[in-house]
Structure 1
Amino acid sequence: MTACAPVVPPSSGATVDSATTASATTSSADADGQRALWIDAETIALDVSGEAEEVVLQAAGEEYVLEDAGAMTEEQADAHRRYADYATFTVPRQLDVAEALRGELAVVARDGSGGVLEATGVQIAGVLDDVYADAADEDLGLTWKNKKPELAVWAPTARSVELELHTTPDAEPTVHRMKQDKRTGVWSVKGKKDWEGQFYRYRVEVWHPETGQVETHSVTDPYSVSLAADSTHSQIVDLEDPALMPEGWEGLDKPAAVDPAAAQIWEVHVRDFSVADETMPEDLRGTYSAFTESGSTSVGHLEDLAEAGLTHVHLLPTYDIATIPEVDQAQPDCDLTEFAPDSPEQQACIGEVRGDDAFNWGYDPLHFNVPEGSYATDADGAQRILEYREMVMALNDMGLRVVNDVVYNHTSGSGLSDTSVFDRIVPGYYHRLDAEGNVERSTCCENTAPEHTMFDKFIVESAQLWAETYRIDGMRFDLMGHHPKDNILAVQEAVEEIDPDFLLYGEGWDFGEVAGNAMFEQASQLTMGGTGVATFNDRLRDAAHGGGPFDEDPRMQGFGTGLWTQDNGSGLTGDEGQQLDQLLHAADLVRIGLVGNLADYTLTTAGGETVPGSELDYNGAPAGYTEQPGEAVTYVDAHDNEILFDLLAYKLDHDVAGLDRARMQSVNLSLATLSQGIGFVTAGSELMRSKSLDRDSYDSGDWFNAIRWQCGAAEEFGDSTNGFGVGLPPAWTSEAKWPWAEETLNAVEAPTCEEIEFSRDRHLEQLRIASSTGAFSLGTFEDVAERVEFPLDGAGEPGVITMTIDMSGLDDAFEQVTVIINPTPEPVEQTVPERAGAAMDLHPVLQDSVDEAFAEAGFDAEAGTFTAPARATTVFVE
């Protein structure tokens, strides 16, 4: 876009004449940016100087004088919060609004002598929502009637839309005229039976603000349900075709639903899951079909997790991804196994091909309603649909529900870019623009605008499609705080009509142009309490780790990484007294996290105050913000930032031995698994998985990301048992941490296969405890508030948390449960007078634990004193 002039100071009220028309005296070509807002059919808003004597709209070579309408109404100001102080102007009735919207628009403000005070383009999303409100009720994309396809696309500003129909992606198209419904702005065409299986694009003639002229685009369908390889063309397929359904699909039995508070989630990337599994058929590695191979090591592990109590598999993005080639995939042109553990050569070699290789996390959506083709055995056409359903069916057959990671908050491209779809059909509508008319990019990429009616509609219908036609069981919303709360609640209502137990959660972070509800009430942590939609709990995460995910120096310690109890010598946490103060506050944050970050749960802080969770401080924000425990996703690692093993490598004292590192892995994972919230674990963390300290492995290739199932025996992936020490992490994300990474890669050893097996078995034990003990999934605020206590909170025993759960009167295997979380290097004794005289014993699962340290655990009934081993979470029951 052309450079934009500074914004004119806010208006104190311009004086203008009544509506008239005249030939334009200032060319719209002189206008820059898009600072005027056409907010409804009758109103344009502008931040204009009080010196303005005349404000005009230029459209179709004419000028239309706009009448001063004063300040925004209350309703307008709420709908356009960022611009609530703009002046408003009335559009003259004689203007053909629909016709004006098809061409270039400009608003010009002049002073009394005719001098131009402002000349700018116009943002049109508001007026489109008003004029074409009926479009919200239309069927868009591909529909079937009497076994014949019909195609419809919303393009209200287009001058013409035609259908390009191809028998194959490479064939010359036949062009079919599409007809516009002027009431809705929808263009449609009715097809023939023999169109099924053919490919298509839309030929759209539309004025585009990026070039300031009419452009003709050939563009895929944003509502596509199938695609050619590399997303070159949309494909006409019937999702109800039996050929696209695996045997038994229509009668698929879903795993029993669980309360959100009982959910245990395993987050995995489709390619990571199997690409390094040598027991997997080579042609299925990295594919949807890998999940169907029950004889493989990777699937066998997943079956073990499910048997132990895992309830959901969370798949990183699996819609059509802009940044993964589906046909020609590059490979690093070097032997990555040859280099030293702290060498920069591995990442340099991967960096040469990272834009063209087979790996990306996939947070770059291209077509939201089509499975990604690179994960199918054949990327060209509908095979991906069948194989995706086979994957869902296989996971369901294991007893696992399926969660899709969805990214509606941005697209990979906008404007005229190759990966722009929406913006080449309705320019300036589907993306959120700033005051100058530029696309906002606070999400990383091209921010979308779910606050606009037709993108809200798209998101809701997309969620319905995945829930209904692919039978997924949940969704995780990326950067959910960039969505309006109303949008997420509309999704919730829609998917729960299909499946009342559909699980919804997301990232409720509050930042960017929408922060603080600046544009609308957000779907953020502090607004979603009471909705049943969960948000990720960064409070417990940061308290367990120490510091935060964006620390320059990664060695800051926390409750689960040795703060005060085993200092790593970094000096980052101050002297011993400062460390103790930090540890006690971190323990308070862990406690409120263990009960699901309930706003109204009361606890005694390290300072001796009894406060509700909403008054416990987390960096100036309330630590407690939920109304029900299942509204918190409790986790200590995720795909973002360093994985748990790597965090511990940085933060634990380097002298901590391998088996004790495995124990610390287990203690930290227990904070998620044994919490009252939704338990969430990154795939492979139970195997001490490492990414060689990579903090953001979104584009780091298989080498840094693959789960090493064969513990260093997979020839292609070198001899690292878990992925640690396979080179310095990639410079494009982690170079700032290389000084600490190099030191850590040399000072810390990768775990042995025995230590990895120990870590795995301990996690399975914790899942069995959680799934067999109702105390860890009470499900309601009332039960948690009444039954869960921290009898030794306050100053208590530094570095140790004791939690009691009274299950009397409930239908459960145990009457009383006591949990002692001890990440310190020494065994501890914890006296709970209320337990004196009780018949407490070690949980049956721990009586057969692989960790011999639990033999030290015991209970003195006379004194009510528990003994718990070092670096362990110990559960006693009665």
Structure 2
Amino acid sequence: MEKSLIFMSAYLERFNVIHVHVAKQYYGGIIEQFYLKNMLTQELSSTRIVYDYEENDWHIYQLMVDNLYLGTPFTILNNHGLSCALETRGIVNDPMFDHLFAYDGDDLGPTYTLEETTFKVWSPTSHAVKLQYQLNGRMETIDMERQTQGIYKVVLKKDMEGARYIYWTCNGDQCLKTTDPYAYASTANGAESVVVNPKKFHKILKMSFPLKQKTDAVIYEVSVRDFTSSKSIKSKYRRQFLGVVEKGLTTKNNQIAGFDYLIDLGVTHVQLMPIFDFATIEETKPDLFYNWGYDPSQINVPEGSYCTDISDPYSRINECIDMVNRLHLSGLRVTMDMVVNHVYDVNSSSLERLVPYYYFRNDDFGHISNGSFCSNDINSECFMVRKYIVDMCKRWQKIYGMDGFRFDLMGILDIETINTIQRVLYNKDPNCLIYGEGWNMNTMLPDDRKAMLDNQAKMPNISFFNDQYRDVLKGSTFTNEHVRLGYLSGNTDLFDEAQAVISNQHKFIYPEQSINYVECHDNATMYDYLKETLDEDEETRLKRQKLLNTAVILSQGIPFLHCGQEFARSKMGVHNSFNSPDNINQVDWDRKDEMMDQVYYVKNLLKLRRKNNGFRYTTKEEIEKNVNICHLSNGVMIYTVYQTQGEFKQIKVIFNPKRESTYYNLSAKDEVIITTENAIKQEYSNLLIEPVSVYIIAQR
């Protein structure tokens, strides 16, 4: 409808408060009396105007009415005879709303048996919901029955497997179609939900051994698409779930690639970038566009472009399960990137269409919060929003076997929601790992309730990406900043800060709360960053790559590696490649062959960490007692760990980020076990510490 022709609109803001907007071009916007009409009974009642004001081209009236029953269609009439439908808006922010309508049942969505399927959807602000489905070539539309707490329900007494369906939700004078946010399956591009038989889902294979402590974890970030996108490997399942776990892939030099390489590397956790259904890939032609997937469409089902048969609703489900199962069989745990802080398009979201204004933060004027910079923020504090997020995490844990979750822009969410997720998932799997981006996002939520890094004391079981660690060791990340180099990129004035982040004694309650990283999918890769910010030759740049990888893997806390970081992955200088083509984002397995020195170095570091508990302490007290960091010479660091478990009783890691050499005096018990250099230069007991180098020295 042409907006300029809308003369009046009405919104239910509280259970007894209505705001009516009247255009000034309609009788100057002056109304003396409004009436409320029940469209079911045709009953007409007067209202009281308690306040009015002007705003731009509108005259706005606040009306008081007796409590209204949601689920009944009403219209507003004025004394000139004009009427409009009453829409629900701010009422969902009324504290009474959750009290009256919160539903804690576990049966939302379709409940399938061979004999019947029950459909349940929560839509308390709708005055009608219809189920429209197609089965065996026939389409039917059925009115759903309103239950208590705003639930709409219908039971169909037949075998509904394979039925494609949508809901029509009626609010005010419009009915909108939407998919089911609790459906298990979907047609291509999320056009319709699909009824499936959960007994046909493949069974998950759980890990056979426990994660003894969180600091045993080494997280490796992988994009399903990027992992097998390169044509240099001959994958049968290129860019798909099954490609991630395809054995026998090799490079042009006949060296292992893909899944076999992943197993051989020595990490413990594979973090999958978004694998839920996201919006900006055409699933019937997945080569047409590229996107990382941080544009959620349906977090209740896997992404369709990653399966082998988009026409089969079981394909995306079972192939995703198979991928996780094969990773588990190889000894690797799996975490997934859970992007619940926003959706791609709030207006087309099933959540917004089922209960307008409820699922996304907004004020009483309908202005939406935008701390995510994606034009919407999830309203996680509301009961049914929190329930939905928790339910989806439970689903990915129970059906797909996920061992943990990485929350994108976790600072958009509230503390209670994140702690609830951790508690619920931990009850099912004590090895579950919950972590996320704890940035302080500018969302409509008080700072003391945000699940952000500064509130880590309120979330002792949650881990956080440590941006201080990244910036102190590598340097400032964002291109709009004046580039400040980090300690390991040559700014030795940051020695004290580097000492603090490597030992991890100060910022967090527990070391396991720190996810130590210098590279992830966001921003430039480490290699590209060093190339862009430092005037150094390739040999020196690759030495700095080793310095940074050494710190990430051996610091106290949980190491995080971006796929390909261990062989100096490049994205050709692109800082934000979220929609760049495959040739930018693909994992270049040929480069791995060219950088085998880097790969072997990282594998040796991972082995050293795994076999020596001194790099995996779990308390600040252990670190204070067993870790020491000091100067060897000005700007050169000696990081020493002492331990009673492992290959050695003492290990020293010497970091020299300077372009000058220095010396270390070896004792009779000292053994140089790892170094960035090809040859060790020693003069009597004096070990030459080369410029831009790492030397790891141990005593048995």
Q: Secondary structure at the match of 1:378?
A: coil
Instruction: Quote the residue 1:715 is aligned against.
Output: none
In structure 2, relative to structure 1, the CA distance for the partners of 1:851 and 1:791 (3 Å cut) is closer
User: Which of the numbers 372, 381, 404 marks the counterpart of 1:443?
Assistant: 372
Deviation of the 1:708 alpha carbon: 1.4
Aligned amino acid, residue 196 of structure 2: V
Distance (whole Å) between structure 2 residues aligned to residue 105 and residue 368 of structure 1:
38
Do the aligned partners of residues 435 and 858 (structure 1) sit closer, same or farther apart at CA in structure 2, a change above 3 Å counting? farther
1:525 equivalent among 429, 444, 453: 453
Which residue of structure 2 lines up, in the alignment, with residue 659 of structure 1?
539
In structure 2, the CA distance between the partners of 1:484 and 1:538, relative to structure 1 (3 Å rule), is same
Quick one: distance in 2 between partners of 1:323 and 1:501? 34
CA contact (8 A) 1:308 1:771 kept: no
Offset, 1:588: 2.4
Aligned with 1:535 (options 428, 447, 464)? 464
Corresponding residue of 1:164 = 132
Distance 1:273 1:57, change over 3 A: farther
Distance verdict in 2 for CA 1:374–1:304, change over 3 Å: closer
Query: Is 1:231–2:190 an aligned residue pair?
Result: yes
1:468 paired to 2:388:
no
Take 1:429 and 1:379, find their aligned partners in 2: how far apart are those partners? 32
Alpha-carbon displacement from aligned partner over 1:611-657 (angstroms, at most 9, x marks no partner): xx3xxxxxxxxxx2x1000101100011111111110111121x42x
The code of the aligned residue for 1:672 comes to V
Match of 2:612 in 1: 773
Alignment of 1:171-320 (within 5 A): 171=137, 173-181=139-147, 183-207=148-172, 214-241=173-200, 244-245=201-202, 249-250=203-204, 252-254=206-208, 256-282=210-236, 284-297=237-250, 300=257, 302-320=259-277
- Residue of structure 2 equivalent to 1:7: none
| Shift of residue 228, structure 1, vs aligned partner | 0.8
2:317 aligned with 1:378: no
Q: For the Cα contact (< 8 Å) 2:279–2:296, is it kept in 1? A: yes
Is the contact between residue 90 and residue 365 of structure 2 (CA under 8 Å) also seen in structure 1?
no
Shift of the 250–690 alpha-carbon distance from structure 1 to 2, 3 Å rule, reads: closer
- Secondary structure in structure 2 of the residue aligned to 1:778: coil
Counterpart-to-counterpart distance in 2, 1:399 and 1:138:
32
Is 1:760 the counterpart of 2:599 in the alignment? yes
Match of 1:431 in 2: 360
Which secondary structure state, in structure 2, belongs to the residue aligned with residue 410 of structure 1? coil
Is contact 1:842–1:858 with CA below 8 Å preserved after alignment? no
Alpha-carbon spacing, 1:449–1:461, altered in 2? closer, same or farther (3 Å): same
Paired amino acid for 2:197: D
Q: Give yes or no for contact 2:286–2:305 (8 Å, CA) kept in 1.
A: no
Sort the Cα spacing of 1:768 and 1:43 in 2 relative to 1 into closer, same or farther, 3 A.
farther
Distance 1:222 1:679 in 2: 35
1:539–1:590 CA contact under 8 A, matched in 2: no
Shift, 1:227, TM fit: 0.7
SS of the aligned residue for 2:171 comes to: strand
Q: 2:123 aligns with which of 127, 130, 155?
A: 155
2:366 partner SS: coil
Q: Kindly indicate whether the alpha-carbon contact (under 8 Å) linking 1:206 and 1:425 is maintained by their aligned counterparts in 2.
A: no
* Matching residue of 1:733: none
Alignment deviations for residues 65-91 of structure 1 (CA, whole Å, 9 cap, x no partner): 4999xxxxxxxxxxxxxxxxxxxx997
Structure 1 equivalent of residue 669 of structure 2 = 839
Distance verdict in 2 for CA 1:688–1:2, change over 3 Å:
farther
Residues 250 and 522 (structure 1), Cα distance of their counterparts in 2 relative to 1, 3 Å cut = closer
Q: Is the 8 A contact 2:109 2:119 kept in 1?
A: yes
Q: State the TM-score, normalizing by the size of structure 1.
A: 0.69
Q: Structure 2 counterpart of 1:164, which letter?
A: Q
TM-score by length of 2: 0.86
Deviation at 1:141, TM superposition (A): 1.1
Aligned amino acid, residue 286 of structure 1:
R
Match for 1:544 among 463, 469, 473?
Answer: 473
Q: What code does the residue aligned with 2:473 have?
A: A
Hey, what's the Cα distance between the residues in 1 that align with 2:392 and 2:328? Answer: 22
Offset from partner CA, 1:110-162 (integer Å, 9 cap, x none): xxxxxxxxxx9851223363353441335211224576322111011112111
Partner residue of 2:29? none
The 5-angstrom pairing of residues 234-633 of structure 1 reads: 234-241=193-200, 244-245=201-202, 249-250=203-204, 252-254=206-208, 256-282=210-236, 284-297=237-250, 300=257, 302-329=259-286, 357-380=288-311, 381-415=313-347, 419-434=348-363, 436-445=365-374, 446-514=376-444, 517-518=446-447, 521-529=449-457, 531-551=460-480, 556-563=484-491, 583-584=492-493, 586-596=494-504, 601=505, 613=506, 624=507, 626-633=508-515
- Partners of 1:850 and 1:628 in 2: how far apart? 31
1:484–1:522: 8 Å Cα contact kept in structure 2? yes
Cα separation, 2, equivalents of 1:539 and 1:451? 28
Q: Higher strand fraction: Structure 1 or Structure 2?
A: 2
2:114–2:160 Cα contact (<8 Å) kept: no
Q: Aligned AA for 1:693? A: G
Question: Separation in 1 of the partners of 2:314 and 2:682?
Answer: 57
Match of 2:696 in 1: 875
Q: Work out which of the residue numbers 39, 48, 68 in structure 2 matches 1:96.
A: 68
Q: Distance in 1 between matches of 2:292 and 2:230?
A: 16
Q: Higher mean Cα deviation, 429-438 or 696-705?
A: 429-438
Structure 1 stretches of 4+ with a deviation exceeding 6 A read 42-46, 55-58, 89-92
Aligned residue among 624, 635, 655 for 1:821 = 655
Shift of residue 873, structure 1, vs aligned partner: 2.7
Q: Is the 8 A contact 1:560 1:668 kept in 2?
A: yes
Report deviation, 1:661: 2.1
The alignment yields a C-alpha RMSD, in angstroms, of: 3.4
- In structure 1, what residue type is equivalent to 2:524? E
Quick one: percent identity of the two aligned structures? 27
Unmatched tracts of structure 1, length 5 or more: 4-27, 47-54, 69-88, 107-119, 208-213, 331-356, 564-582, 602-612, 614-623, 712-721, 723-752
The answer to whether the 8 Å contact 1:841/1:859 transfers is no
After superposition, the Cα gap between the structure-2 partners of 1:121 and 1:375, relative to the gap in structure 1 and judged at 3 Å, is closer
Match of 1:693 in 2: 573
Secondary structure of the structure 1 residue equivalent to 2:70: helix
Gap change, CA 1:395 and 1:280, over 3 Å in 2: farther
SS at match of 2:454: coil
One-letter identity of the residue aligned with 1:124: I
User: Equivalent residue of 1:194, what SS?
Assistant: coil
Distance verdict in 2 for CA 1:281–1:435, change over 3 Å? same
Counterparts of 2:155 and 2:691, CA distance in 1: 70
Q: Partner of 1:427: helix, strand, or coil?
A: coil
Q: CA deviation at 1:177?
A: 2.6
What secondary structure, in the 3-state scheme, does the structure 1 residue paired with 2:653 have?
strand
Give 3-state SS (helix, strand or coil) of 1:513's partner. Answer: coil
Closer, same or farther: CA 798–789 of 1 in aligned 2, 3 Å: same
Counterpart of 2:564 (choices 680, 684, 693) is 684
The number of residue pairs the alignment matches comes to 658
Quick one: structure 1 residues 774 and 869, their matched pair in 2 at CA, closer, same or farther if it must change by over 3 Å? farther
Query: What is the rounded CA distance, in whole Å, between the counterparts of 1:508 and 1:37 in structure 2?
Result: 33
SS in structure 1 of the partner of residue 589 of structure 2: coil
Q: Structure 2 CA distance, aligned partners of 1:498 and 1:701?
A: 40
Q: Give, as a single letter, the amino acid of the residue that structure 2 aligns with 1:132.
A: L
Structure 2 unaligned runs (5+)?
Answer: 21-31, 38-43, 52-61, 78-86
Whichever residue aligns with residue 388 of structure 2, its letter is: F
Which residue does 2:56 correspond to in 1? Answer: none
